[in-house]
Amino acid sequence: MSRKGENIYKRKDGRWEGRYVKSKSPSGKTQYGYVYAKTYRDAKEKLLKAFASHSQQIIPPTTNITCFSVIASEWLNSTIPQVKESTVNKYRNLLQSYILPIYGDIPLSHITHDFIECQCNNLLLYGGKNKSGLSSKTVMDTLSVIRNILKFAVRKGIFVPCDGTSVQINQVSTSMRILSSTEQERLCSYLNSEKNPYNIGILVCLFTGLRVGEICALHWEDISFSEQTLYVHQTLQRIQDKSCSEKKTRIVLTTPKSACSIRTIPIPDPILKILNDHQTSRKGFLLTNSETHFIEPRTMQNRFKIALKKSEIESANFHALRHTFATRCVELGFDVKSLSEILGHATVNITMNRYVHPTLEMKKNNMEKLSALFTVN
């Protein structure tokens, strides 16, 4: 079925009709084109192809010669002091891969709502190296960068017909992998039977909700055995190295994802005992007991997959440990505010919407509460 804003409609004769902006006259008058098909899917595909072939014609005439690439460069340079290096690399990659090849030489005053929407649709359908289309998440990230650049231009006093706010992408939500209670028991059994640094790290994440970069960055100085807490204030990650060095990437130890991610987490008694037995040094990285040697996130992710295989559990990514932790906490009756702070979220809504996944058993138990209202005379 068609969605709002798509301009695809079912005609009385049973066919589907799609309307697109074909061109704009020098006076600014819009001229529309039409496509027809027997099915909605075919009409949508025809419409997107029509968008692609006519996208350059929907740009109105102007005398403004400030090109998008010039402002994009200024914007990127202005963000460098304000965001993490990994974020700058992400912006730079999106610009080079998906934005500048299309927008680079176009004057800012030529960039309209129709043009941005058309290019986003093209990325969804034909983007990527294989021309098979990008995910809605990647296109959303790309659109976000475009919006930031256009708003930056507005702040500089440059006329921009559209700042991109009116363009919307229907984001497809992906299912999150959560270990069942049975899977969690099997995994814990294996991890306890082979207590190496990798498995200890997996156990800590499973019972604290730490991200993979956070467990890799954890130092013994961050552990308080007397108070039974761990202090999260760093993350370890491998990022692209844009310098002239021979290596393409390097490891950095930096602040966590956000200010809310800096937090103190209580440690359950069994995990505290495991850490106490594992400790051989008062300083250095927790997993390795070394001040110079560390385990990087990709290695932890690979070792987690090995642990799943040995536990005869279906494959999952490392972040599934965080999802599983949050779900188990809700099942056990944690108050959501406490859980939100343990996970390092800015608001309770993020915790509820993103990480809390009621199981079928939880739903059944809740529905059974209605039985008390059922009476037979």
Least confident of 13-22, 111-120, 253-262: 13-22
Identify the helix (H) or strand (E) that includes residue 326.
Answer: helix 320-331
Judgement on whether residues 215 and 354 belong to the same structural domain of the protein: yes
Of residues 263 and 368, the one with the higher pLDDT is 263
**What's the pTM?**
0.73
- Residue numbers of the domain that contains 148: 8-155
CATH number at residue 73: 1.10.150.130
CB 29 within 8 A of CB 60: no
Pair 300, 187 in one domain: yes
pLDDT in tens, 325-375: 998 998 888 888 999 999 998 888 888 877 666 666 777 777 888 877 776
Same domain, 340 and 221: yes
How many other C-beta atoms can be found within 10 angstroms of the C-beta atom of residue 135? Answer: 15
For residues 35-64, give the mean pLDDT.
67
Query: What pLDDT score was predicted for residue 233?
Result: 95
**Same domain, yes or no: 145 and 30:** yes
Task: Look at residue 89 and tell me whether its pLDDT is greater than 50.
Answer: yes
Q: Is position 176 within any domain? A: no
Assigned domain for 174 exists: no
Same domain (yes/no): 350, 204: yes
Residue 27 or 16, more confident: 16
Residues 201 and 304 placed together within one structural domain of the fold: yes
Assigned domain for 90 exists: yes
Percent of the chain whose predicted confidence (pLDDT) is above 70? 88
Q: Tell whether 226 is covered by a domain.
A: yes
Whole-number average pLDDT of the chain: 86
Regarding whether 210 and 81 lie in a shared domain, the answer is: no
- Looking at residue 291, what is its pLDDT? 93
Q: For the segment 192-216, what is each residue's pLDDT rounded down to a tens digit?
A: 999 999 999 999 999 999 999 999 9
Which residue reads 């939880």 in tokens? Answer: 362
29 pLDDT more than 70: no
Residues 145 and 189 in one domain: no
Residue 68 to residue 179: CA distance in whole angstroms: 46
- Answer yes or no: do 13 and 126 share one domain: yes
Whether the predicted pLDDT of 164 surpasses 80: yes
| 375 domain-assigned | no
- Domain end, chosen from 103, 120, 155, is at 155
Say if residue 103's pLDDT is above 70. yes
| pLDDT of the residue at 376 | 60
* 12/139 same-domain check: yes
The pLDDT of residue 38 is above 90: no
Would you say residue 28 has pLDDT above 60?
Answer: no
**Whole-angstrom distance, CA of residue 278 vs CA of residue 272:** 10
In a domain, 376, yes or no: no
Share above pLDDT 90 across residues of the chain, in percent, rounded to a whole number? 54
The answer to whether residue 373 sits within a structural domain is no
Specify which of 47-56, 64-73, 200-209, 335-344 reaches the highest per-range mean pLDDT. 200-209
Residue 108 confidence class, pLDDT cut points 50, 70, 90 = very high
238 vs 300: CA distance, rounded Å: 13
Number of domains in the chain: 2
Per-residue model confidence (pLDDT) at position 3: 47
Q: How confident is the model at residue 245 (pLDDT cuts 50, 70, 90)?
A: low
Residue 343 sits in a domain whose CATH number is 1.10.443.10
Q: Which of 139, 155, 171 is the last residue of a domain?
A: 155
Task: Say whether pLDDT at 151 is over 50.
Answer: yes
17 plus 104 within the same structural domain: yes
Averaged pLDDT, 57-79:
76
Q: Is residue 167 part of a domain?
A: no
Largest CA distance in the chain: 83
**Which of 155, 173, 189 delimits the end of a domain?**
155
Length of the chain: 377
Same domain, 118 and 213: no
Asked if the model's pLDDT at residue 377 lies above 60, the reply is: no
Please provide the DSSP assignment of 147-205 as one string. HHHHHHHHHTT---S--STT----PPPPPPP---HHHHHHHHHHHHHS--HHHHHHHHH
